[in-house]
Amino acid sequence: MDQIDEKILEELNENSALSKRKIAKRSGLPLTTVFHRIKKMEKEGIIRKYTIEIDHEKLGFGICAYILVSIQQNSPDGKKYSQKEIATYIKKMFANVESVSIVTGDIDMIIKARFKSIKELNSFLTSKLRNVDGVAKTVTSVVLEEV
């Protein structure tokens, strides 16, 4: 990884839909260099996927919340839950969930999720998330503004 790779990544991070030709022009690099460097970074797993930035509010999902989750490692029936199992389950099962991060500190994971309304957020918390085996406690912060 060098300054050339960093230039290319900067351009892709700004707009992942840019063609290799446009990246070359904007960064002042030869097209063949851009092509080979991107292929190499994809092969090495530095570039894992290309994505888009969505305006969630325009899609009707104007409520964003961060949900701090504490895990109960042992259930009353003796089953043990790992943070990774629970995080994977939550990410897979609930379409509103944008990301799940396992963290250190007083809590075990942070969920970022989007909702159409406070009522929908409340339903998700009380009827779904808190009923997931292994979820002991949640604390929710609603995002006022994303910068």
Walk me through the domains of the chain, giving residue ranges and CATH numbers: 3-43 (1.10.10.10), 63-142 (3.30.70.920)
Contact 114, 58 (CB under 8 A): no
H or E stretch covering 43: helix 31-43
pLDDT of residue 75: 66
Query: How many CB atoms lie under 10 A from the CB of residue 67?
Result: 23
**Over the stretch 68-80, which tens digit does the pLDDT of each residue have?**
999 987 766 777 8
Instruction: With 0.95 as the threshold, say if the pTM is over it.
Output: no
Q: How far apart are CA 93 and CA 89, in angstroms?
A: 6
Average pLDDT over residues 1-13: 93
Q: What is the mean pLDDT of the chain?
A: 93
Q: What region, left, alpha or beta, does residue 3 occupy, with left being phi > 0 and alpha being psi -120 to 50 degrees?
A: alpha
**Over the stretch 95-134, which tens digit does the pLDDT of each residue have?**
999 999 999 999 999 999 999 999 999 999 999 999 998 9
